[in-house]
Chain A
Amino acid sequence: MLPSLRAIRVVQSPGRLRHGPSLFEVDCEWKGPSLNVIMGESGSGKSTLLKTLGGVWEPLSGQVLFEGESLWSESGHRQNKSLLSRIGFCFQNNALFNSMTCFENLCFPRSQRRPLESETARRKIATHWLDKVGLSGSESLFPFELSGGMQKRLAIARTLILEPDYIFFDDPTAGLDPITSRQIALLLLELLENRPALTFVVTNDEDRARSWAPSVFELRGGHLNEKRHLP
């Protein structure tokens, strides 16, 4: 079944306050594999929106449906585990496990979500992904020993290693210098090519956004406006 995501009157507040002012109300639908770029001013809530769509945070009200199914249970804030395993989220600050080596960071999601997989197969896949993102040779290094660009590559590999159908990237080039930024943008395009996934990328960087998609979604005034063509 083709991936699809529907946000029905999704509301979130700054800081996710129960009774706070609303940051945005989004009502949108995406069908089929595609790469969607979301931009907007600082403080508009782009990151918050991505985390709400990506299942990191529960919406204050409204629903986020993946192929018609909600991630969150009716009550009790529980999440649909099988749906969750089809989502890959790459955080802005990478959220790498500092106490694990690069190799262990990659093996971890597979060991959690594919417990029946053999150790040999898992290690083979992890090695393959390290190679794919240009980090072969860094297996036994820890995240804090890597440069900013290398950490980002590891984070991307960890996000994609489970071959998710829904992928979310929160400002993947934030804080990187222009040269590294370009390299990461290209890497993303390479990895997402021919992948049947529904992907969302939040960014502040117009130059990179241009390389990912001909038009963008803009979060402004609390609403997501479709398809602004980049100059």
Chain B
Amino acid sequence: MIRFENVHKSFGPKKVLNGLSLSIQRGEIFFMLGRSGTGKSVSLKHLVGLLTPDSGKIWIDDTEISQFSENQFVPIRKKCGLVFQLPALVDSRSLYENLVLGIRHLDAVQKLARISATLKAVGLESLEKDLFERFPPSLSYGEQKRLALARTLLPDPEILLYDEPTTGLDPTTSLQIHDLIKKISKDFGKTSIVVSHDMRNALKIADRLAVLDAGRVVDLGTPEEIRRSPVAMTMAFMEDLQ
């Protein structure tokens, strides 16, 4: 279980998290929606130690991580995999080298077996034969996003964090990615936290959603509750779905 307790974070004069408090249950698919700049991506980055809060506490299971050092985050990062908004693949290394970044401790046979299964799970089996020859720039944007997801899945983290997984993708691919998120979460028993703008797909696959505004949670609930919600920001997000 993950818990944010009154977390504050500023970047210079700009306050991005203003008393963020929320908790996420094990095994659920949890969406965080909100306008740009409301702190959604920033909160995800706190979970893997890329950022440290100015104040407040953050728990992952029973471990409080808000003041952790870089070394202390090593086991946390094994538990929590972050899929970045930009694919963030290493352009200068082959697809294979990119995929094995998180599983270098395994032997070659184990690596290939896991890669095969994971590529199948994300719908990239066609790339399996070219893993050593091809490099990230030769893939389409959609393929790069899927490969980045595969790379994050390979070390088998319990918790998956998705930072705007479908921004910039067409509606068909967006739906496929959302279905993939759901499948991975349910089939492999992962906890998934998704930061997004996409209310339509969020309502389809989320167990619960939170709507953020000005650095804090303004609405929280199941898809049914959100659909009926009178909160202004939520209704603004729902407008396109009427």
Contact = CB atoms under 8 A, between A and B. Distances in A.
Interface stretch (B32-40, B47-55, B182-190): B32-40
Interface stretch (B70-78, B119-127, B168-176): B168-176
B197 A41 contact: no
A146 to B, nearest CB: 12
Contacts of A73: none
A132 to B, nearest CB: 23
Given A178-B197, A207-B240, A42 B169 contact: yes
A196 interface: no
Contacts of B37: 147
A206 B240 CA distance: 10
A175 B167 contact: yes
Interface residues of B, number: 20
A143 to B, nearest CB: 16
Interface residues of A, number: 20
Contacts of A39: 170
B36 A177 contact: yes
A128 B199 CA distance: 36
B141 interface: yes
B142 A43 contact: yes
A59 to B, nearest CB: 21
A115 B197 CA distance: 43
A41 B141 CA distance: 11
Contacts of B141: 42-43
B231 to A, nearest CB: 14
B240 A178 contact: yes
B36 to A, nearest CB: 5
B142 A178 contact: no
Contacts of A174: 167-168
Among B167, B170, B239, max chain A CB count under 10 A is at: B170
B199 A41 contact: no
A218 to B, nearest CB: 11
A180 B167 CA distance: 14
Interface in A139-174: 147-149, 174
Contact of B239 (A147, A148, A178): A178
B69 interface: no
Nearest to A40: B170
A41 B170 contact: yes
A148 B140 CA distance: 24
A116 interface: no
Given A42-B140, A43-B141, A43-B142, A180 B36 contact: yes
Interface in B194-242: 197, 199, 236-237, 239-240
A16 to B, nearest CB: 15
B25 to A, nearest CB: 26
B240 A41 contact: no
A46 to B, nearest CB: 9
Nearest to A148: B36
B173 to A, nearest CB: 5
Contacts of A40: 170
Contacts of A182: 239-240
Nearest to A179: B236
A176 interface: yes
A138 to B, nearest CB: 17
A85 interface: no
Interface in B96-151: 140-142
A42 B35 contact: no
